[in-house]
Chain A
Amino acid sequence: AQSVTQLDSHVSVSEGTPVLLRCNYSSSYSPSLFWYVQHPNKGLQLLLKYTSAATLVKGINGFEAEFKKSETSFHLTKPSAHMSDAAEYFCVFNAGGTSYGKLTFGQGTILTVHP
C-alpha cells in the first residue's frame, strides 16, 4: 500500500537544540513529498517539498529534509529550535501515477519547544 508514516506523535525539545521529525513512506512510484506546519487556529503552511530534484531540500524558517530512497525516509530537521517552531507538523505524500494531485497526510507530529 502507498502511504506515509510519521514515527513520533509528540516531540519535545529545548530551545536552541536540534529538531528531528521522522517520516517514512511507501510508494510504487517516484513520490513527491512535502512537510507542512499547522499552528493553532491557522492554515497549513508549506515548509518544503521534494519532487525528484535535489535529495536535500531546504525550506523556510531554517528547516530542511533529506530524501533517502534506500531508507524510504524524508525526515525533517532544524539545527536550532525556536519557541515559534512549536506547532503540529505533517509529512505529506503524493504517490504520483494515477494518484497525481491527491495528497495523503501523515498522522502528524506535535512539536513542543521548552525555554
Chain B
Amino acid sequence: GAVVSQHPSRVICKSGTSVKIECRSLDFQATTMFWYRQFPKQSLMLMATSNEGSKATYEQGVEKDKFLINHASLTLSTLTVTSAHPEDSSFYICSAETGTGRSYEQYFGPGTRLTVT
C-alpha cells in the first residue's frame, strides 16, 4: 500500500522556538494532504487541508499564523509550529489523499510527537 512518512518522529523544543514537521508521500503523488493533532487520550482533530500550490485551508479555531503549512510539491507538505508554547505539545499526524471520485483514500503518517518545554 501507499506509504506516508513524517519527520521527525519526536521533537523536543524550548518555548518560543519554531519547529518544522515534514510529511512525505513516498510512492504516490498527493494533491491534497491533511494535518491533524491528537491530544493524549483524545481523538484526532483536523487542523488544516493542504493543497499543492495553493494556500492551506484551516479549520475553525486553528491559528494560521501559528501553524504555517506549505505544500510545495506533490509529495511534500510541511507544518511549522511558530513560537511554540507548552500548550502546543501534542501528537501531529498528517495524511495524504489519493484516488478519484468516491474511491479516494487517505494514508496516514506515523505521527510526530512534539514536546515544548
Q: Are B105 and A43 in contact (CB under 8 A)?
A: no
Known A-B contacts A90-B43, A105-B43, A105-B44; A43 and B108 likewise in contact (beta carbons under 8 Å): yes
A75-100 residues at the B interface, CB under 8 angstroms: 90
Residues 95-115 of A, flagged 1 when their CB comes within 8 A of B and 0 if not, give 000000111111110000000
Residues of B within 8 A of A (CB-CB), count: 23
Residues of A within 8 A of B (CB-CB), count: 19
Residues 87-98 of B, flagged 1 when their CB comes within 8 A of A and 0 if not, give 000000101010
B interface SS class: strand
Q: How many cross-chain pairs have Cβ atoms below 8 Å apart between A and B? A: 44
B34 touches which one: A46, A90, A102 (CB < 8 A)? A102
Q: Are B105 and A46 in contact (CB under 8 A)?
A: yes
B interface residues, Cβ below 8 angstroms from A = 4, 32, 34, 36, 42-46, 49, 93, 95, 97, 102-111
